[in-house]
């Protein structure tokens, strides 16, 4: 493998995947010698079809500000964001000019003046761990989401190079072949570490055959400390309680602190650091502005297309174009300081990288077969020592984290956040609770006490999130002790 001929020796790959932020939203304005500054194309008109309509330029957010309305990121929303209208994507018309128009349609009648929020970006001071690691290691400046669609299909590409022919969230249990299956067949260890309810639990092999490989984040830090971290680790942040996934409108602050904690744990263990590749990326752009048009892509299955019905008509998508660009940083002792890779990656590159690093035979589908391997960015000729980030964030960031925690004392969904609970659930959060109900049913488990565990439930007020999360963890996550006892690669005593 050409990427590892530099001398790099990779024995452990860790992937930390956040939620719903674009490259320009988090890294596009970073003071970095290898990243071109945004000088052109960073303006959207209120109406892309009217040259005289109000222009909105990119701007830095103040302090820990974040959008107050979740931006659109359905396939129809993304088509509008890319070309200013819909419903059919026209490759020759992609101008990245419809973000303001699409966000305006999402805003309430009394909030239209907030439309410029979608063009905002976070400064290095607001995401200090990400900024420092981006400057110290390798930024992938052309990493795109795998499909112009929502969270589920994009996360599925990271595991299977395939979204089951979907561009939208479809809650069910999937029997698709995933990279975890290939690792297991090759005798390589792997674990999915979950902040609360992981979307990866939609795969039957994870919840049936390999249930002991689905565990909590506390186990990650213990595995690192004990030197029992598996060959491949996939980390899902918290999506429901004390959210650190960075999904709007949850602040980026908690997610940045999670990145700091994960990096510091790995960097502190020399035997792990010396042969590590940590890939940090985001599942999709979440509706935020980005200036780079997504390129063409190889469909995972030739001839497959998704039918999409919108308010303006019905169209199809053939999985022949990537989604919007997302941030991505590759951290390794074999990464040159301040490097930037302009190779095209998407989430199927994670699958390709696992196959390459661990010398697995074959591939899953056509997309991951032709994808670029992330190992290609590890061009350093000498092993580097880790940089020191420190254990705590900047005092202003720490104060904001404390304030957020104080405001989330309740864990019951309310019709209005002002009622003392947490705000109504977004579509992704609802899908995870639906997934829990389907897993309970699949495994013949009774519904937890209360009316709020019904399959297909709506994000109604009164849902006790804490009970739902704890019930999922008790039923569907393995304890670390159970996993160590069941995995032959780890000591049993």
**What angle (nearest 5°) sits at the alpha carbon of residue 94, between those of residues 92 and 95?**
125
Residue listed under structure tokens 């996939």: 234
> Is 216 a residue whose pLDDT tops 60?
yes
Model pLDDT, residue 424: 79
Question: What tokens appear for 126 in the block?
Answer: 């607001």
Model pLDDT, residue 400: 61
Strands (DSSP E) found in 186-275: 190-194, 214-216, 232-236
pLDDT grade for 313, boundaries at 50, 70 and 90:
confident
Residue listed under structure tokens 């330029």: 57
Of the ranges 144-148, 291-295, 458-462, which one carries the lowest mean pLDDT score? Answer: 458-462
For residue 361, give every residue at least 6 positions away whose Cβ sits within 8 Å of its Cβ, in sequence order, or none. 186
pLDDT grade for 408, boundaries at 50, 70 and 90:
low
> Is 457 a residue whose pLDDT tops 50?
no
- CA dist 10 to 132, 201, 346, 362, 433, Å? 23, 27, 21, 20, 36
Percentage of residues in the chain with pLDDT exceeding 90? 74
Model pLDDT, residue 492: 34
d(C-alpha 38, C-alpha 30), whole Å: 10
d(C-alpha 437, C-alpha 455), whole Å: 5
Residue 207: count other Cβ atoms within 10 Å of its Cβ. 20
Model pLDDT, residue 458: 45
d(C-alpha 237, C-alpha 199), whole Å: 10
R_g over Cα of the chain? 21
Beta-carbon-side half-sphere exposure of residue 79 (alpha carbons within 13 Å): 20
Model pLDDT, residue 420: 46
Contact, 448 vs 468, CB < 8 A? yes
Go through the chain and tell me how many residues it has: 493
- CA dist 375 to 345, 359, 412, 493, Å? 11, 12, 43, 35
Give the tens place of pLDDT for each residue, 224-271. 999 999 999 999 999 999 999 999 988 898 999 999 999 999 999 999
Of the ranges 31-35, 188-192, 231-235, 453-457, which one carries the lowest mean pLDDT score? Answer: 453-457
DSSP for 57-117, written as a single string:
E-EEPPTT---SSPPP-SHHHHHHHHHSS-SS--GGG--S--HHHHHHHHS-GGGGGGGGG
> Is 417 a residue whose pLDDT tops 50?
no
Q: Phi and psi of 369, rounded to 5°?
A: -65, -40
Question: What tokens appear for 235 in the block?
Answer: 């980390």
> Is 491 a residue whose pLDDT tops 50?
no
Question: What tokens appear for 43 in the block?
Answer: 């303006």
Of the candidates 272, 286, 290, 343, which has an alpha carbon nearest to the alpha carbon of residue 28? Answer: 290
Pairing of strands 276-282, 328-331: antiparallel
Q: Given CA atoms 374, 377, 379, 382 in this order, what sign does their dihedral have?
A: negative
DSSP for 339-408, written as a single string:
EEE-S-B-THHHHHHHHHHTT-SS-SSHHHHHSPPGGGG---SSPPPPPP--SS--HHHHHHHHHHHHTT
Percentage of residues in the chain with pLDDT exceeding 70? 87
Model pLDDT, residue 464: 82
pLDDT grade for 386, boundaries at 50, 70 and 90:
very high
For residue 322, give every residue at least 6 positions away whose Cβ sits within 8 Å of its Cβ, in sequence order, or none. 144, 145, 146, 147, 148, 294, 295, 296, 297, 344, 346
Q: Phi and psi of 16, rounded to 5°?
A: -115, 110
Contact, 13 vs 231, CB < 8 A? yes
d(C-alpha 278, C-alpha 47), whole Å: 41
> Is 210 a residue whose pLDDT tops 90?
no
Give the tens place of pLDDT for each residue, 317-353. 999 999 999 999 999 999 999 999 999 999 999 999 9
d(C-alpha 287, C-alpha 15), whole Å: 23
Contact, 422 vs 412, CB < 8 A? yes
Residue 461: count other Cβ atoms within 10 Å of its Cβ. 13
Higher model confidence: residue 414 or residue 361? 361
């Amino acid at each position: 493998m050409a990427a590892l001929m530099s001398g790099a020796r990779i024995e452990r790959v860790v992937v930390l995947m956040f939620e719903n932020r674009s490259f320009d939203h988090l890294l596009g304005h970073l003071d970095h010698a290898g990243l071109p500054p945004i000088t052109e194309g960073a303006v959207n008109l209120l109406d892309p079809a009217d040259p005289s309509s109000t222009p909105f330029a990119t701007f830095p957010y103040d302090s820990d500000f974040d959008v107050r309305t979740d931006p659109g990121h359905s396939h129809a929303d993304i088509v509008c964001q890319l070309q200013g209208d819909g419903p059919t994507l026209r490759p020759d018309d992609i101008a990245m000019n419809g973000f303001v128009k699409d966000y305006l349609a999402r805003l309430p009648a009394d909030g239209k003046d907030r439309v410029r929020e979608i063009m905002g970006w976070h400064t290095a001071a607001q995401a200090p761990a990400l900024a420092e690691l981006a400057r110290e290691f390798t930024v992938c400046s052309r990493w795109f989401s795998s499909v112009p669609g929502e969270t589920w299909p994009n996360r599925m590409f990271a595991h299977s190079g395939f979204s089951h022919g979907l561009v939208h969230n479809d809650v069910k249990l999937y029997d698709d072949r995933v990279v975890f299956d290939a690792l297991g067949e090759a005798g390589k260890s792997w674990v999915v570490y979950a902040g609360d309810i992981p979307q990866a639990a939609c795969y039957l092999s994870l919840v049936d055959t390999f249930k002991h490989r689905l565990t909590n984040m506390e186990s990650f830090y213990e595995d690192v400390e004990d030197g029992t971290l598996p060959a491949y680790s996939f980390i899902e942040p918290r999506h429901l309680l004390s959210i650190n996934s960075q999904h709007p409108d949850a602040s980026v602050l908690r997610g940045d602190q999670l990145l700091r904690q994960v990096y510091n744990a790995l960097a502190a263990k020399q035997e792990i650091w010396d042969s590590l590749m940590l890939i940090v990326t985001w599942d999709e752009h979440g509706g935020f502005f980005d200036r780079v048009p997504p390129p063409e892509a190889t469909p995972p299955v030739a001839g497959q297309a998704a039918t999409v019905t919108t308010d303006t008509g019905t169209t199809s998508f053939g999985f022949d174009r990537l989604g919007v660009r997302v941030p991505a940083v590759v951290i390794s002792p074999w990464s040159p300081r301040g490097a930037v890779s302009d190779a095209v990656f998407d989430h199927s590159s994670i699958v390709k990288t696992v196959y390459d690093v661990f010398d697995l035979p074959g591939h899953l589908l056509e997309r991951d077969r032709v994808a670029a391997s992330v190992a290609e960015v590890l061009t350093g000729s000498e092993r580097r020592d880790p940089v020191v980030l420190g254990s705590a964030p900047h005092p202003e960031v720490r104060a904001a984290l404390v304030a957020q925690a104080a405001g989330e004392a309740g864990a019951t969904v309310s019709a209005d956040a002002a009622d003392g609970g947490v705000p109504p659930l977004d579509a992704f959060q609802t899908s995870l609770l639906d997934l829990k109900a389907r897993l309970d049913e699949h495994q013949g488990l009774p519904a937890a006490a209360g009316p709020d565990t019904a399959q297909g439930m709506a994000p109604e007020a009164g849902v006790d999130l804490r009970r739902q999360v704890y019930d999922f963890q008790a039923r569907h996550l393995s304890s670390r002790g159970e996993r160590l006892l069941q995995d032959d690669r780890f000591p049993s005593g």
